[in-house]
Chain A
């Protein structure tokens, strides 16, 4: 009996000692290699899905490149696989391609192979997100002119086609047409090496790359849904970079960087259902929300109050607009005025919230609901899962829907407001609950114009949306947090939400 008990007593400290002795066995990283820890594993790493952030962070500009690169700080574009471009006529853009570039499988990059890649991405028999998100309804035909010159013809004028090409990744002609691939082959500075589902994806440096050789030789991507674990992995040196961690885990200023992440949070107002069809009611909603109370409490301290669903670096953002101030008295009097005119302001208003749409989203929806009730609205807060949320958010809308506010967050770091405004505010937009002739005219005009005229027209559209129609309760341009380990230099930026260019990493 005694012996047994002694053994048990020894067992636990023994185990701990054993672990301690092996403390050094905790993995150290090889020189030249980095480990990047992402929040979720991609389902697939087909480059034509690179606009999904978890795919893009692995693939975009690492394995596959685009003709041009969008500078997220000002929406301008710079050459990448194309060295130049010019508009030949309203319906044709001519691109000059970089010479001496080859794909990882040895195929040459030229007008023929580019045409194959474009046709594959736009093929309607597969559901490439790049097609659905950026090229929906656009008939685009690539026509090679000579080896390194290609004409891209569109059925309708496409004044920002070069910017749009900044979203489309270029793949090898050996990528299968009409089916998705789990084996991405591009021209980028890194080759796809292996994917062990559930465990990791490995990229290695492409020594035949046309551009400067980057410092990182090998990159391993691992996946941990828990932010605390991602932060811990960088802290212990098991990983070098966690592109997105939660605010509560960003506790070490020597490792953690905040950055505007190109997302904008707001509540969409369904203007088509009474009493929300009355502009006084929509203004009252805006006056009732004390945005300053959210900053540094429910939202991180670095968020910026927004006046539109695009961030300030997007061409067309209107810097002259002023966020609605907190003025509960004015909210109450606007409501009274509407009530006196027979508007049914006491109708319960549904808030459709989604808990995981951004950190503390439930608390944000609850706080907004409380603020609205404080000025006299009746609020019915419903938190739903992502599937229900999408069903309610997108057309076709239910005929008998109640007046609703919809908690949303929108990401546009593709340089131009067109990727936002049509879908969300045009009468025909798939997520629009706004239908205004004057606004539609502005949107249609901006879509086909260029340069200053384009920017000014978008600015006029945003003024119409924010000041006159009051189509949303705008909240904040959001921030993200990145943890960078002590071995490397990496500066997160507004594009970190959608890509992590390994070539931008250097070793200390």
Chain B
């Protein structure tokens, strides 16, 4: 296992370095932030002066060397826009997105397992039909539309929940629900499919023949073996949430990393782009390692590969 882990970490590090180089050059490919930062009325001299002071007029390789030098001292640079370290901007925003993602995925997986399993027990029964309609609708509904409609219904018309913002538990209900819908819809389909395969497999039939009770077969024998595809899809969705949270964060005014990243990209705030991508990439690599570990625990065959 130790060898497996160290190999995975090494691969991840190589990818990270590649990513850092790629992001550095891609971000600068479209130009520098001078014209976006300065007012339209700023003179040509003011623009050139700005470029020189922030080092945007140096050759790309010189800028890259400077960036690597700073990085070696764990300095990710300052946000030009916010006049403070880019790392502060990112570490401030990260916990909100992580909390959102963790709750969303836990709830989505739990709910999907319950609903998917129940649907698989009696395929084409009324519950299965209902679950399919709801989950397919969920998987295909645009987040943005769901979020705005949710606000109009639950906050403006019914006055049950706050429209947006943070503060109380009630503020989290709508953002979580909106984020949850798509992974939940997908996972229900995955659980249902995997469970149907498992329930019709030989080992379940054997267990039933031996007289094991229905609930035990479903939740012990079949479910455990159906978890592999669920974990794969769930891992994929979790990575997607870190990116996809931008809509929820924007609509509900949640101070998360998705919004920080989008704003930094549109403003060409290079230091923040780099810090945000580096931080999320690290997270996704950690998560992938955890998923691999979960795999290895669930399926002995993976361990020997």
Contacts and interface: CB of A to CB of B under 8 A. Distances in A.
B233 interface: no
B89 A197 contact: yes
Q: Most chain-B Cβ atoms within 10 A of its Cβ — which of A44, A387, A390, A396?
A: A387
A198 interface: yes
B299 interface: no
B162 A127 contact: no
Interface in A28-70: 43-44, 46, 51
Contact of A132 (B46, B83, B255, B260): B46
Contacts of B156: 232, 235-236
B148 A229 contact: yes
B137 to A, nearest CB: 15
A235 B156 CA distance: 7
Contact of B255 (A20, A199, A238): A199
A391 interface: yes
B162 A27 contact: yes
A8 interface: yes
B61 interface: no
Contacts of A225: 250-251
Interface in B47-100: 49-50, 53, 79, 81-84, 89, 92-93, 96
A339 interface: no
A169 B152 CA distance: 40
Nearest to A200: B165
B268 interface: yes
B291 to A, nearest CB: 27
A136 B43 contact: yes
Interface stretch (B15-23, B30-38, B183-191, B199-207): B30-38
Contacts of B30: 387
Interface residues of A, number: 56
B160 A23 contact: yes
Contacts of A5: 118, 127
Interface in A14-28: 16, 19-20, 22-23, 25-27
Given A43-B82, A179-B83, A198-B92, A224 B164 contact: yes
A430 interface: yes
A431 interface: yes
Interface in B134-189: 148, 151-152, 154-156, 158-168, 170, 173
B47 to A, nearest CB: 8
A394 B151 CA distance: 41
A363 to B, nearest CB: 20
Contact of B35 (A1, A197, A199, A394): A394
Contacts of A46: 83
Interface in B218-261: 250-256, 259-260
A8 B158 CA distance: 24
Contacts of A8: 114-115, 118
Given A26-B170, A232-B156, 18 more contacts: A5-B118, A25-B168, A27-B162, A27-B167, A127-B37, A127-B46, A127-B50, A129-B39, A132-B39, A198-B96, A198-B259, A228-B151, A229-B252, A232-B151, A236-B155, A238-B163, A387-B36, A391-B35
